[in-house]
Amino acid sequence: MSRRSRKERGGEGRKVLTGIRWAESPRRKNTRKLVEPCYSTHRSLVNPIIDWGDDDVWEFIRDRNLPYCSLYDEGFKRLGCVMCPMGNKRGMERDAARWPRFYVIWLRTFDLMLKKRDEMGKETIWQNAQEVMDWWIYGKQKEPEGQMTLFE
């Protein structure tokens, strides 16, 4: 089984606990529930701290003297993938400056995407990986019509 399959199919037929909280985003506040089905697999998601605020999380950590990632001490509010495509311009710029090797890895990935599009005879609005990066960080209000994603 591939790594991606394990991640996406892990917990099939079971209840999976998450750390999702409404305080993390307005979208989560409006869409996520304490218990919810996962439609891509036969499992249920249970979000036991869904109604916790940031202060609740930090109180829990401090009361139990639990270890946590030092990035929070540097002002990070949430942690996720480096240069997350769901992130905003400021977060992507911050990540690119802090972890420049990831910036280079993303450029290589964009090169591969452009090469694959060319091999498939698909057009693109970009001439090179840097143009994709610039669009990704600064200009992606919506996907260009007919644009293939990184995973196609």
Residue with tokens 């509010």: 77
| Same-domain check for residues 88 and 152 | yes
- 23/150: higher pLDDT: 23
d(C-alpha 42, C-alpha 4), whole Å: 17
Percent of the chain at pLDDT exceeding 90: 51
User: H-helix or E-strand containing 37?
Assistant: strand 35-38
d(C-alpha 30, C-alpha 132), whole Å: 32
Using the predicted structure, report yes or no on whether residue 4 has a pLDDT greater than 90. no
Work out how many domains the chain is built from and give that number: 2
Q: Look up the domain containing 8 and give its range.
A: 3-79
Contact 43/15 with Cβ under 8 angstroms? yes
| Same-domain check for residues 54 and 90 | no
| Same-domain check for residues 94 and 146 | yes
| Same-domain check for residues 73 and 85 | no
* Residue at which a domain ends, from 64, 79, 94: 79
> The pTM is what?
0.62
Residue with tokens 């450029």: 107
